[in-house]
Amino acid sequence: MFNVLSLSTGEFLKNGDGSIRIFESGELAATIAAGYSESMGQKFQVRRAVVRQIEESDWRKREHERFESGWYESPSWLSSCPVVLPPDHFLHVSRIDRALVAFTKSADRGLADTQTRISVFGYLTQYCNFSESDARFWAGVHAENYASSRLKFARTADEIIEIYQRGARESGLKSCMTYGLRDYASSVHPLTPYGDSDLALAFLESDEGKVIARCIVWPDRKIRTRLYGNFDKLALSLSEAGFVEGSLDGARLRRVDDEDTGRLVLPYLDSVGLVRRVDSNWIVIDKNGDVAANRTNGLESGFICQGCDDEADSDDTSQVWTSRNRSSEWCAYCVENYATYCERADLYVRSDNTMTIDGDLYPDWWPDLHTVNYCEFSEEHTFSELIPVHHVDLHERFFGVSNWSPDCVADRAFKCRIDGRFYNDGLQVFDPWSDEPRCRYIYPSDVPSDFDSGFEYRALNNESLDLMVA
């Protein structure tokens, strides 16, 4: 047995209860002495143990007296836990870290007054033959009772909301669920369904009392989910308490119906994202559920407008066509501002996908399904058959032809009585012997034999008329 002596103070290293620390091997004592010398800048040396070696009965008596004096605290869960402790372990809540337990590993350790710290999960599985699931349960019980300085649990709705908001305010642990009620569409805070349900909020506080980490957990099944904040410390604390990462599929939440819309009030669920209604009191997180819980406004996902991708009242939507084979549901705002009702086609069309046919609006893919022509005079589409209309180019060198709608022909063209073709109004002339017009470039073949006055006629480059208009 060995002790470590400080040459500066002349005192031996001591345990937390004030007793002189004893090392079973000189090698371990030398390592400790070297570490203290380097870290503290003082000389520490190994000495043969000068502490009186007490008899085995004496060290056991010492351990019993520590329970009686309150120096040791027996875990409260031992009274209800079906465990048989190995003899002489003197299991107690660790005085150094109350999230752990401590015990005397052997008689030699007892003589040396050395206790071993270990997690409840590790102790029950290694020394008491507990299954992992049972050990995890009792580790969780211990964590809730003794790890308050490290790991805490909020269970009511008010407690959970408070921790979320404190974390955001005190340590910057912001997320979509950390805002105040007025920032959500729901009549109560979207975290409310977590309260008094199968789930709880695990969190850590710093020595100054600030919330530094949080995580939604399923205590009964020792399942944890996504970690926020100081995830290293929280992951370790939850692991020591027996929690493992897993799915919340099957966990019950409190059913809360929104006062204004009647829809479910829901938090944003990180993993499964779907729930189903069970009864008037409960909903269940269910990967096959029919209600989406992946919105950040505090309500179950209602109708999502495919025009603006925002949520809207599903009772006030319209089908809007964006192509010949594709339509989508739009909210009233998008319909009013970005869609057009085509009365003749009896449907809504995205405004930039419309065209005018005979003065009425149609989808721009309407010509794919119907015979639609294009009037070159009005530059508009029409269902009517087009009529060829002749005209003379700007230099009056030849005739051109364009296709006009009947309405445009009636308004701005005429039929020549000589050749029966249509020409634009600018080429129209009347002869004294007829009430019907002809084109000024068409020679009047119906001149009366007794007509001895002149008439208007313009030849094109003295070429044959038949060649020019054929």
Sequential DSSP letters for 44-101: EEEEE--SPPPPHHHHHHHHHHHHHHTSS---GGGGTS---PPTT---EE-SS-TTSE
CA angle, 114 then 103 then 204, to 5°:
105
Provide the pLDDT for residue 11: 77
DSSP one-letter string for 433-456: T-SS-EETTS--TT--TT--S---
| Stronger pLDDT, 305 or 93, i.e. the higher one | 93
Cα 397 to its chain centre, rounded Å, is 71
**Backbone Cα Rg of the chain:** 46
Question: Residue 367: which H helix or E strand, with range?
Answer: none
Provide the pLDDT for residue 51: 44
What value does the mean pLDDT take over residues 400-424? 94
Q: Report pLDDT digits (tens) over 338-366.
A: 999 999 889 999 999 999 998 899 999 89
Does the pLDDT value for residue 41 go beyond 80? no
Amino acid at position 82, single letter: P
- The confidence band for 253, taking pLDDT boundaries of 50, 70 and 90, is very high
CA angle, 249 then 252 then 254, to 5°:
140
What value does the mean pLDDT take over residues 81-88? 92
Rounded to a whole number of angstroms, the distance between the first and last alpha carbons of the chain is 128
Q: Which has the closest alpha carbon to 296: 176, 174, 168?
A: 176
What value does the mean pLDDT take over residues 420-425? 94
Least confident of 313-322, 420-429, 431-440: 313-322
Task: Give CA–CA dist 94/240, Å, rounded.
Answer: 13
Amino acid at position 148, single letter: S
Cβ neighbour number for residue 301 with a 10 Å cutoff = 17
Provide the pLDDT for residue 468: 40
Exposure of 6 by Cβ count < 10 A (0-12 exposed, 13-18 middle, 19+ buried)?
A: middle
Q: Report CA torsion sign: 429, 434, 438, 443.
A: negative
Q: Report pLDDT digits (tens) over 94-140.
A: 876 777 899 999 887 888 788 898 989 999 999 999 999 999 999 88
Least confident of 169-183, 381-395, 400-414, 451-465: 451-465
Q: What is the pTM of this model?
A: 0.45
- The confidence band for 233, taking pLDDT boundaries of 50, 70 and 90, is confident
Does the pLDDT value for residue 463 go beyond 60? no
Question: How many CA atoms within 13 Å lie on the side-chain side of 423?
Answer: 22
Task: Give CA–CA dist 137/222, Å, rounded.
Answer: 7
Does the pLDDT value for residue 282 go beyond 90? yes
Q: How much is the mean pLDDT over the chain?
A: 85
Provide the pLDDT for residue 216: 95
- The confidence band for 147, taking pLDDT boundaries of 50, 70 and 90, is low
| Stronger pLDDT, 165 or 329, i.e. the higher one | 165
What value does the mean pLDDT take over residues 193-222? 90
Cβ neighbour number for residue 456 with a 10 Å cutoff = 11
Long-range contacts of 71-76 (CB under 8 A, 24+ apart): 71/17, 71/95, 75/101, 75/120, 75/142, 75/145, 75/146, 76/145
Tokens coding 400: 């051109």
- The confidence band for 396, taking pLDDT boundaries of 50, 70 and 90, is low
Provide the pLDDT for residue 465: 40
Q: What percent of the chain has pLDDT over 90?
A: 43
| Stronger pLDDT, 161 or 230, i.e. the higher one | 161
Task: Give CA–CA dist 413/376, Å, rounded.
Answer: 13
Amino acid at position 242, single letter: G
| Stronger pLDDT, 157 or 10, i.e. the higher one | 157
What value does the mean pLDDT take over residues 249-254? 94
Provide the pLDDT for residue 384: 93
Does the pLDDT value for residue 44 go beyond 90? no
Provide the pLDDT for residue 53: 45
Q: What percent of the chain has pLDDT over 70?
A: 92
Q: Mark 86-120 as b/e (b = at least 16 C-beta within 10 Å).
A: eebbbbbbbbebbbbbbbbbeeebbbbbbbeebbb
